[in-house]
């Protein structure tokens, strides 16, 4: 077991670490901005009431895309199958949810 | 672990979690699981949105929800998603201590979120908003409660993986497990984004 810890020399990954951390922080900041925007339009009454739902869905969707492609690493190589799986799920999910709401 | 030799033969990206076939399969299988979870939550969201006005003269969402509490809960969960991604970078640099630190912060933020949610539910029950009080109540607790159950499970899961990582170190056996638990944690945050948008914020619009 201990040899793994000795093996754990950090030099292997060091080179591409800073910019991926940077990317995560930028995407985190974008999520904060989107969250604040969502609370703002509801709390401050700045847009027409019938525009609130589309805007909330829009902000939420961007946040989800950011989570998937930066935090959950779908931007990396070799993730095509993961993307196919999750988006198939999303399509079935949207159909189910809309079906239930309209029922 | 003889399999450790594979670690360094991995192509340029050098990701420990997909360094072995078993690790790759775990991650692939987990995405399939997440796709199923998306459908589960979508059905609960659909049910909630269809029933949210059926309050049976009990308290409405307008009267109940306190957005300040929701802002704090959102900040906690969103930050925990970032610390979880930091833990995964530390893992891929084979820095056990740093990884354990970030995982610890993630679990701590998750616990704080959970305590806030329990407080919120207890508060609502005192106001007469229960699972049995109306269709709105049932749909609300089914949706938000399922999310809370996921947070609870995530906390237990990540904590036990921290113990395992402490014992065994970061290797091709523990890395896929840690990575998959981090995906789960991000997924919990994704669901929360929709809960605060479609349940709490929309509930205040009426």
Report pLDDT digits (tens) over A50-103: 899 999 999 999 999 999 999 999 988 888 999 999 999 999 999 999 999 998
Of B49, B71, B183, nearest to A39 by CB-CB distance is B71
CATH code of the domain covering residue B197 = 1.20.120.80
B8 phi and psi, to 5 degrees?
A: -85, -15
Six-digit token pair at B76?
Answer: 């906690």
**What's the gap in Å between the CA of A2 and the closest CA on chain B?**
8
Helix, strand, coil share (%) of chain A residues, nearest 5: 80, 0, 20
Q: Is there a domain that residue B113 lies in?
A: yes
Q: What is the pTM of this model?
A: 0.89
pLDDT-based confidence at B47, cuts 50/70/90? Answer: very high
Q: Is there a domain that residue B1 lies in?
A: no
**What range defines the domain where residue B101 resides?**
18-52+59-205
Of B36, B93, B168, nearest to A1 by CB-CB distance is B168
Of the candidates A55, A44, A97, A34, the residue with the CA atom closest to the CA atom of residue B204 = A44
**What's the gap in Å between the CA of B122 and the closest CA on chain A?**
24
Q: Is there a domain that residue B190 lies in?
A: yes
Q: Is there a domain that residue B8 lies in?
A: no
Six-digit token pair at B199?
Answer: 């349940």
Q: Is B91 on the interface with A (CB under 8 A)?
A: no
Number of domains chain B contains: 1
**pLDDT score for B5:** 42
Chain A residues with CB-CB distance to B186 below 8 A: 67, 71-72
Six-digit token pair at B126?
Answer: 């005192």
């Amino acid at each position: 077991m201990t040899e793994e810890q000795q093996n754990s020399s950090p030099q292997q990954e060091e080179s591409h670490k800073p910019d991926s951390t940077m990317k995560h922080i930028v995407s985190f900041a974008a999520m904060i901005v989107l969250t604040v925007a969502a609370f703002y339009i509801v709390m401050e009454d700045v847009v027409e009431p019938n525009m609130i739902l589309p805007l909330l869905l829009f902000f939420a969707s961007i946040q989800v895309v950011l989570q998937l492609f930066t935090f959950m690493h779908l931007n990396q190589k070799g993730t095509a199958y993961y993307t196919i799986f999750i988006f198939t799920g999303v399509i079935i999910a949207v159909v189910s949810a809309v079906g239930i709401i309209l029922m | 672990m003889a399999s450790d030799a594979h670690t360094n033969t991995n192509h340029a990206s050098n990701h420990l979690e997909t360094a072995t076939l078993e690790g790759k399969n775990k991650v692939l299988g987990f995405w399939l699981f997440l796709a199923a979870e998306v459908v589960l939550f979508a059905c609960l969201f659909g049910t909630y949105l269809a029933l949210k006005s059926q309050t049976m003269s009990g308290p409405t969402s307008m009267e109940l929800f306190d957005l300040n509490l929701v802002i704090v809960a959102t900040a906690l969960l969103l930050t925990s998603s970032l610390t979880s991604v930091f833990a995964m970078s530390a893992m891929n640099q084979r820095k056990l201590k740093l990884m354990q630190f970030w995982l610890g912060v993630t679990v701590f933020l998750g616990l704080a979120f959970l305590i806030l949610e329990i407080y919120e539910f207890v508060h609502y029950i005192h106001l007469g908003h229960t699972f049995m009080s109306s269709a709105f109540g049932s749909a609300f607790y089914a949706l938000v409660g399922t999310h809370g159950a996921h947070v609870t499970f995530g906390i237990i899961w990540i904590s036990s993986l921290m113990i395992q990582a402490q014992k065994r170190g970061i290797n091709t056996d523990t890395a896929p497990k840690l990575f998959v638990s981090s995906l789960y944690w991000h997924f919990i945050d994704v669901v929360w984004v929709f809960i605060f948008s479609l349940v709490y914020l929309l509930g205040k619009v009426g």
